[in-house]
Structure 1
């Protein structure tokens, strides 16, 4: 106890620096952790389906090759007709990953248990020099 009282400032610095190191891990716990390279592996090995949740105009400007466009606001109505097989991995993507992360909850509610967001979205896909196509 005497050590704690004598070195309270040192302990405070230690705890705050540990918290700062752990913060990115805690903050990223709910976001998409599937990298673009991981997505390619799922597409090639498990026939994963890529669904782009951006608006049609954004999709037309450039999207992942062979992806389907189901805008986020229409997910509940159109996802089951766009992707009938609920057992295959469902990879959701948008511009930066924010909308895709929200779409994961909707997809899981609809029964797509293997739904995942691609971290970083189409930006990360392009940064990894992976192919895109324009409508």
Structure 2
């Protein structure tokens, strides 16, 4: 008991630190976390990650990340087989929220490492990253 009284600040710091770590892991959730445009670019360059645009085809044609693959959520079952399961996937939606909903569906189709692009295509553009059209 004397140890607890003498070291109450250290014990409180340990609980706060553990709580912050737990909060961070719960925020990203079991489905996969959101990564920034810079982290996504690094994943593509270093780990050969693949951008998967889950927006409707018309939105993809209006503008998308170069080299991304269009897999609208409505066509996921048909197009999932054409994606590599041995590479990380980075899902791109309009603003990040719609892609987060798709993570569980991709994992259900056997994709082990699936993340979303934080802010979606809007976040990509806001970070000053280029887009392709057509």
1:1-135 → structure 2 map (5 Å cutoff): 28-30=27-29, 32-81=33-82, 83=83, 85-135=84-134
What is the alpha-carbon distance in structure 1 between the residues aligned to residue 28 and residue 87 of structure 2?
23
What root-mean-square deviation, in Å, do the aligned CA atoms of Structure 1 and Structure 2 show?
Answer: 2.0
Task: Count matched residues.
Answer: 112
Task: Give the TM-score, by structure 1 length.
Answer: 0.75
The 8 Å contact of residues 76 and 106 in structure 1, kept in 2 or not, is answered as no
- Structure 1 runs not aligned, ≥5 long: 1-21
- Structure 2 runs not aligned, ≥5 long: 1-19
What is the alpha-carbon distance in structure 1 between the residues aligned to residue 125 and residue 40 of structure 2?
13
**2:13 maps to what in 1?**
none
**2:11 maps to what in 1?**
none
- 1:87 is displaced (CA, Å) by 1.2
What is the alpha-carbon distance in structure 1 between the residues aligned to residue 70 and residue 34 of structure 2?
21
The 8 Å contact of residues 54 and 72 in structure 1, kept in 2 or not, is answered as yes
Task: Give the TM-score, by structure 2 length.
Answer: 0.76
- 1:25 is displaced (CA, Å) by 5.8
